[in-house]
Amino acid sequence: MGKFKVLVIFLSLWLTSDLWATHNRAGEITIRQTGDLTIEVTVTTYTKTSSTQADRDSVKVFWGDGSSEYVFRINGEGTPLDNNRKLNYYVASHTYPGRATYTISMMDPNRNGGILNVNPPNSEGVPFYIEATYTFLNPQFQGYNNTARLLQPPIDFACVGKRYIHNPNAFDEDGDSLAFEMIVPLQDSGLNVPNFIPPQQIEPGIDNIMTLDPVTGDLVWISPQIPGEYNIAFIVKEYRGGVLISSFIRDMQILVLVCENSPPEIEAIEEVCLVAGETLNLAVNISDPDIGQLVKVSASGGPFEIEGNMAQLDDGPGGFQPQPFQAILSWTPRCEQIRDQPYTVIIKAVDNFFDTTGLVDLFAIRIKVIGPPPKGVEIKNGGETFELSWDLPYACDAAADNYFRGFSIWKRNGSNQFELDSCETGLDGRGYTKIAANWKGTRDGRYFFEDGDITDEGSYCYRILAEFAQTTPSGQPYLRVESIPSDEVCLRAKADRPLITKVSVEQTDLANGSITIKWIPPDPVALDTILFPGPYRYELLRADDINSADFQPVAGGTFNAATFEGLKKDTMFVDPGLDTRTHGYRYKIDFYTGSSTTLYGASQSASSVYLTVLPSDDASLLSWAYNVPWDNYHFEIWRSDAGGQFSLVGTTAETSYKDNDGVFNGIDYCYKIIAYGDYGLDMVPAPLINLSQEACVIPVDNVPPCTPQVSVTNICDEANPGTPADAFVNYVTWQLPCTEDDIAYYIIYYSEAHSGEFVEVGRVDHPGNTFEHKPGEKIAGCYMVVAVDHSGNQSPASLGVCVENCPVFELPNAFTPNGDGQNDLFKPYRSRFIETVDFKVFNKWGQVVFSTSDPQINWNGTNNGGKDVSDGVYFYTCEAYESQGTAPIVLSGYIELIRG
């Protein structure tokens, strides 16, 4: 049968059933705040057009404050859509008595019939319930709260065996952060619909998986297996400052069809950072696996909702057109569109498989609009202060609604020459401290800031951020956003003393190691040589650890000069006779003026780079440390193999490195680090290059295997278990979640109780991954598995996997105690893990004629006195216990005793 015949038959059956079906397909509740305690609620529903008998011109909304009202539809009789669907909007306003959290809800008594995964086959009798939970914030300090709007309708088509994707295209005009979470559809507050089956559990398998991305909202189903209608639900959560302030439920429907068609395909960049004022021109490539299929493309999302500054999608001639083709998404956001959360644009491509519609592919593009950096930052010494200035006007000076709040000034000791990412804003975690905020001071036609806190020696480095925020009615900022940082500018404080620029290990040895120390002399402008005339003296001091403050004079490290010019001749020293193999060293320089022995001042201290290397399995683990006043921003790792020449094996900006490229166990490797640094000062040449000592290691296999993942099966996992000989066997199986080629064997541990001691019960050679264990006459207990490699390294024990007994006790309803050897005793026909029973048999007058605690019962038809009871029907009660203190299996019924 061709695809069109299959489709016509299916749709005919579907539309015929609609004549008898009822109402709601999908919907949600969204909220807009219009006053300090007033909200406007929109209830959006999608219903069956043909269900005229269930059409609602109004719905009852419960406001969550004890009141309710009928809210009328605002779009006439509803807006008819394709495929027997109708869109309805119900809008009303409500004023609350005070700030609190309220749940606004709507329940309709009818869903549409024929939903495969909601109480099948009777979904039409299941109520349709949606709700939104809303918190009134303090508007004077936190602003108003509007829920997100979902711009993508909650009704979709899918095809059997084809990938399906839905994105709600959530747009929060406030810029709050959103999260998405799958839930079971509801029939009332806190009450799930009955007999709900997740769509992926209808014909389950590895090719039937549904996922919801909690960040982007992408709902992906790979792939539907059975045609029909499915309903699912998810909750959209809204956070401000990390605090949940609202949430609402989308209950949506997916119609899965049998169709010989594949959806279109979209290719584009998924995430873009865009500086406000710059223009985005992003290529969107559209194609379709079905040759000759026409495709129409459209776009929606937050950038298309901004009046006066909407994004555009140029798709050429538009409408359905031959593919492949390329569309261009363009947008030039203004400064008012800067925000912390990205905007989402959903590109929708639909083919013409059904002539005017067809299968759809959705592609989410997340656009983060960021503030431009302040430009033209300069710094100069103002004597007792450092003076910062930068370009005026700033690119966002004229942002509407006071959205640009001013600048923040950030400061740190020493430079941090990090590379700015195109999407990186703010300076948190970069070692800077904010020293001013909301700053708009000016001088001489430029923005201007003066820092008078320069008491410590060393270099001070600065960056500037622009700050943006929405404003409450009382003028308070909320939802703050920071721009890209400015370039860094630095200036040296206390320049009237030496500045160390090099502490580099020249020779590695336990006793004859050496370190070169270099420095630059005091700045002649900063040092008043009239007030502090010569002679001058440097005294080099050393501490025997990179973090030690116990400085002692270095032999030969004193330098004298009669004049200041003479100081420039002695700016380097090689410190010999050191144990550089096991020690790092820290240096500083004391500076003396005149004939006085009084210290004028000291340089900042600086240490060597000290390298530590540890062995690993076919790898070396390197880490290094230092204590310097400049910024070490780049490191080279050099290696010598078995005493050979050193060669470069890697680079990093971190202070650790794993070298496993061409490294093998049992071979001696030696390493050294070359560090590249910078003060960020114009007067100091850059980069500053310093070497660590050499450190050697012989790699060994000391890495344990990864932890096995364990499962345990037994008779309790059978759908209808009997009592075979292996009824008391636990089958322990495991898998390794990593690739291991060095496993020797596995150790299996068992504990009778959840909190008991684990004991070894067996070993299995690799590659075996199954172990049969019979604990006794019961199977309850817990298991762990440890993997052991050929070097004896043991993995961490797996998580304890516990199993319980699954008691079963079932009785017949007749027996024939006539002595023929067949069915002479009344006993359970299925019994497992039962320790004792309380079994009683009653005659028709309610008298107990037989009782026992024997779990096999073994009633031979006599009473407690040993006499035969008459043929007939007897009533029994039974409580079967797994063990003392456990809940019993409770049975009762009738027994027919037949001797004839």
Confidence (pLDDT) at 83: 79
**Taking CA 338 as the corner, what is the angle to CA 434 and CA 303, rounded to the nearest 5 degrees?**
165
Q: How far apart are CA 216 and CA 148, in angstroms?
A: 13
Confidence (pLDDT) at 396: 96
Does residue 312 surpass a pLDDT of 80? yes
pLDDT digits (tens, 9 = 90+) for 476-508: 899 999 999 999 999 988 888 899 999 999 999
Q: Is 795 helix (H, G, I), strand (E, B) or coil?
A: coil
Whether the bond between 373 and the residue before it is cis, its omega within 30 degrees of 0, is no
User: Tokens for 800?
Assistant: 């304890």
Residue with structure tokens 């598995």? 785
Percent of the chain with pLDDT over 90: 76
Which pLDDT band, with edges at 50, 70 and 90, does 664 fall under? Answer: very high
Which pLDDT band, with edges at 50, 70 and 90, does 5 fall under? Answer: very low
User: Tokens for 372?
Assistant: 């431009």
Q: Which amino acid is at 107?
A: M
- The answer to whether residues 409 and 379 touch, using CB atoms and an 8 Å cutoff, is no
Does residue 17 surpass a pLDDT of 90? no
User: Tokens for 801?
Assistant: 């996997």
DSSP assigned state of 520: E
**Taking CA 416 as the corner, what is the angle to CA 410 and CA 422, rounded to the nearest 5 degrees?**
85
Q: Is 303 helix (H, G, I), strand (E, B) or coil?
A: helix
Average pLDDT, the chain: 91
Q: Name residues whose C-beta falls within 8 Å of residue 799's C-beta, 6 or more positions apart in sequence.
A: 707, 710, 784
- The answer to whether residues 606 and 627 touch, using CB atoms and an 8 Å cutoff, is yes
Residue 647, number of CB atoms within 10 A of its CB: 9
DSSP assigned state of 117: T
Q: Which amino acid is at 110?
A: N
Q: How far apart are CA 780 and CA 804, in angstroms?
A: 4
Confidence (pLDDT) at 733: 96
Does residue 18 surpass a pLDDT of 50? no
Which pLDDT band, with edges at 50, 70 and 90, does 726 fall under? Answer: low
Q: How far apart are CA 212 and CA 225, in angstroms?
A: 18
Measured in degrees and rounded to the nearest 5, phi and psi for residue 721 equal -70, 145
Confidence (pLDDT) at 9: 30
Confidence (pLDDT) at 570: 67
Does residue 157 surpass a pLDDT of 60? yes
Q: Is 14 helix (H, G, I), strand (E, B) or coil?
A: helix
Confidence (pLDDT) at 2: 37
Q: How far apart are CA 205 and CA 225, in angstroms?
A: 10
Which pLDDT band, with edges at 50, 70 and 90, does 849 fall under? Answer: very high
pLDDT digits (tens, 9 = 90+) for 30-39: 999 999 999 9
| Of 652, 638, 666, residue with least CA distance to 508 | 638
Confidence (pLDDT) at 307: 87
Element (H, E) at 8: helix 3-18
Element (H, E) at 760: strand 759-765
Stretch 424-447: mean pLDDT: 94
Strand arrangement of the beta sheet that strand 343-351 belongs to: 271-275, 360-370, 343-351, 294-301, 321-322
Q: How far apart are CA 879 and CA 836, in angstroms?
A: 9
Stretch 312-328: mean pLDDT: 95
Measured in degrees and rounded to the nearest 5, phi and psi for residue 402 equal 55, 30
Question: In which region does residue 401 sit, left (phi positive, over 0), alpha (psi from -120 to 50) or beta (all else)?
Answer: left
Q: How far apart are CA 807 and CA 778, in angstroms?
A: 10
| Of 98, 90, 31, 11, residue with least CA distance to 57 | 90
Pick 497 or 16 by higher pLDDT: 497
Confidence (pLDDT) at 527: 86
Q: How far apart are CA 20 and CA 110, in angstroms?
A: 12
Q: How far apart are CA 854 and CA 80, in angstroms?
A: 70
Stretch 696-712: mean pLDDT: 95
Does residue 872 surpass a pLDDT of 50? yes
User: Tokens for 772?
Assistant: 């049969």
Which pLDDT band, with edges at 50, 70 and 90, does 13 fall under? Answer: very low
Confidence (pLDDT) at 59: 94
Q: Name residues whose C-beta falls within 8 Å of residue 818's C-beta, 6 or more positions apart in sequence.
A: 824, 898, 899, 900
User: Distance of alpha carbon 64 from its chain centroid, rounded?
Assistant: 33
Residue with structure tokens 């300076």? 427
Q: How far is CA 768 from CA 33, 743, 744, 775, in A?
A: 64, 11, 10, 21
* DSSP states along 545-576: STT----EEEEEEEEEESSHHHHTT--EEEEE
Which pLDDT band, with edges at 50, 70 and 90, does 513 fall under? Answer: very high
pLDDT digits (tens, 9 = 90+) for 530-552: 888 889 999 999 999 999 999 99
User: Tokens for 86?
Assistant: 């109708």
Residue with structure tokens 């394709």? 82
Q: Pairing relation of β-strands 458-471 and 186-188?
A: unpaired
- The answer to whether residues 115 and 21 touch, using CB atoms and an 8 Å cutoff, is no
User: Tokens for 365?
Assistant: 């593009």
Does residue 20 surpass a pLDDT of 50? no
Which pLDDT band, with edges at 50, 70 and 90, does 180 fall under? Answer: very high
Residues in the chain: 900
Stretch 550-574: mean pLDDT: 90
